[in-house]
Chain A
C-alpha cells in the first residue's frame, strides 16, 4: 500500500486507460490543471445552461409565434427600424473611432487646429473623405431611423402597459441621439458649427434658474472658445458613447425580456 494520497477519481490512470493522442493528452492535462485551480467547469455549465435556456425559451420568432408570416411581412420594414438604428450606431462608432485618430479639438491658430484636422482628413488622408462621409451619414440615418422607430411604436400602440418604462427610456435615447448629433455638429468648428454653438449657449442661458450653471457645465463658459470645443469633444467621444451604449443595451434587453409587442 502506497503512502501517496490518491483521489477517488484517479485522473492520470483514467487518461492512461483512454489511449489518447498527444494533442488530446496535452489538452486534457492543461484542462485538469486549470480546472483544479479555477473551477472552469462551474462557469462553463453556467454559460451552457444559459445557452440552452435561451434557446428553449424562444424557439419561435415572433412572426411564427403569432402565425403572422403571411400578413406581417408587408410591415416588416417598420418593425426592423430599431435594428436599423442600432446598426447605424455601430457604423458611426467604428467610423468615428477611425476619425478620432486624426482629429484634434483645439481652437488654436487661424484657421483653427480642429478645422485644419478636418481639412486634412478630407483632403490628404487616404480614404478620409469617405470616412467622414460615412460617419456623417451613419449619424443622419441613425437619427432618422430612431425617429421613425418612435413613430412605429406610437402608431402600433406598442408603448402600452408593460412597456411604459421602455418608452421613457426610448425618449431619453432619442434625446441623447440628438445631443450626440449636436455635439458632433460643433466639432469641425466651421461657421455653421460656431453659430450653432452660439445658439446652444443662448438656449442654455435661457433655462430658468439653472441657466448659467447649465451653460458653464456644457459649454464651459458664456462665450465660445477652446473650453467649449473641448467639452463638446469629450461629451461626443467619451461621455455619450458609454451612456448611450449602456442605455441601448438596457433598451434591447427589456425588449428581449418583455417580448416584442404583438404585431398586428
Chain B
C-alpha cells in the first residue's frame, strides 16, 4: 500500500468494500426505506456521513427474490419453539416423576455387591469382561499377551476407532438402508452388540446362566445382522425393479 495510488480509483465511502456487493444484498437506501422512527434517522445520518452515491444506489441491480418460501417468522419459529418446549417439558416431566436418590456415603473399606456406572457406559464396562476372548499365545508358553483388563480397555479403542473410520470405508452415493444392505447390517450388528454387551456388563443382575449370556452376547448381533442383510437384500431387488420399471416406462428399450 503506497501513498501515491492512482487517483482515478475513487475512495469508496459507501461501505460496499467491506463485502463484495452482489445482486442479493439490498442496497443501503433500500434498507433505509424499510425503517421508521429512530432507526430511520440513524440510516439517514449514516447515509449522509458516508456521502452516499445515490446514483450507484438507484442503479443497483438488486431484485427482491420472488421465491415461495416457508417463512422463518412465524412458521418455522413457532414450529421450533413448540418442539423445544415439548422436549424441555418432557425432561421436566421425567425429573418430576422419577427423581434420583442418593446411596450410602462412600466407604473405601466395604466393596458393594453391585458396582455399576451409568447405563450409557455399560457397553464400555461390558468390554472389560471379555477376558475369555483374550488370546493365549502358545509361543509365550500359554501366557497372555496382555492382562484381561488391558485387553478390555483396548477393546474400547477398537470399537470407537471402527465407528470413526466408517465414512472412509463406506463411500458412494447410497443413502437409504435399502441401497446398502451390508452397511445397514453392520449398523444393526453394532446396535444389537451395544445392547448385548451392556447386558453382559450387568451379568450378576441377569436372571440367566452367565455362560449362555456370554455366548448370546456375540451370537445375537450376528443373527440380527444376517437377518437385516437378508431382508434388505430382498427388498433391494424389488426396489431396483421398481426403479428400473419406472426408467423403462420413461424410455422403453428398443
Hey, which chain B residues are within 8 Å of A52, CB to CB?
Answer: 24-26, 31
Query: Using an 8 Å CB-CB cutoff, how does the interface string of A36-47 with B read, 1 for contact, 0 for none?
Result: 000001101110
Q: Which of A167, A193, A206 contacts B150 (CB 8 A)?
A: A206
Given contacts A28-B41, A129-B99, A196-B115, contact A161 B83 (CB under 8 A): no
A143 at interface, CB cutoff 8 A: yes
B56 at interface, CB cutoff 8 A: no
Q: Which of A5-46 contact B (CB under 8 A)?
A: 8-9, 11, 14, 20, 23-24, 27-28, 31-32, 35, 41-42, 44-46
The reply to whether B115 and A160 contact each other, CB–CB distance below 8 Å, is: no
Q: Which of B15, B41, B100, B176 contacts A157 (CB 8 A)?
A: B176
Minimum CB–CB distance for A91 against chain B, Å: 6
A4 at interface, CB cutoff 8 A: no
Query: How many chain A residues touch B (Cβ–Cβ < 8 Å)?
Result: 95
Q: Which of B163-183 contact A (CB under 8 A)?
A: 163-164, 166-168, 170-177, 179-180, 183
Q: Which of A166-220 contact B (CB under 8 A)?
A: 167-168, 171, 175, 178, 181-182, 185, 188-196, 198-199, 202-203, 206-208
Query: How many chain B residues touch A (Cβ–Cβ < 8 Å)?
Result: 84
Hey, which chain B residues are within 8 Å of A110, CB to CB?
Answer: 105
Minimum CB–CB distance for B160 against chain A, Å: 7
The reply to whether A118 and B87 contact each other, CB–CB distance below 8 Å, is: no
- Tell me the bound Cα distance from A131 to B45 in angstroms: 51
Hey, which chain A residues are within 8 Å of B105, CB to CB?
Answer: 110-112, 115, 189-191
Q: Which of B51, B152, B179 contacts A9 (CB 8 A)?
A: B51
The reply to whether B69 and A64 contact each other, CB–CB distance below 8 Å, is: yes
Q: A28-B45, A196-B117, A199-B117 are in contact. List 11 more A-B contacts (CB 8 A).
A: A8-B51, A9-B48, A27-B38, A35-B49, A46-B18, A52-B31, A56-B65, A137-B98, A157-B183, A182-B117, A199-B128
Q: List 23 A-B contacts (CB under 8 A).
A: A24-B38, A35-B49, A44-B46, A46-B18, A57-B24, A59-B67, A80-B83, A133-B96, A141-B90, A144-B120, A154-B187, A161-B167, A164-B168, A181-B121, A190-B105, A191-B104, A191-B110, A192-B115, A192-B116, A196-B115, A196-B117, A203-B149, A206-B152
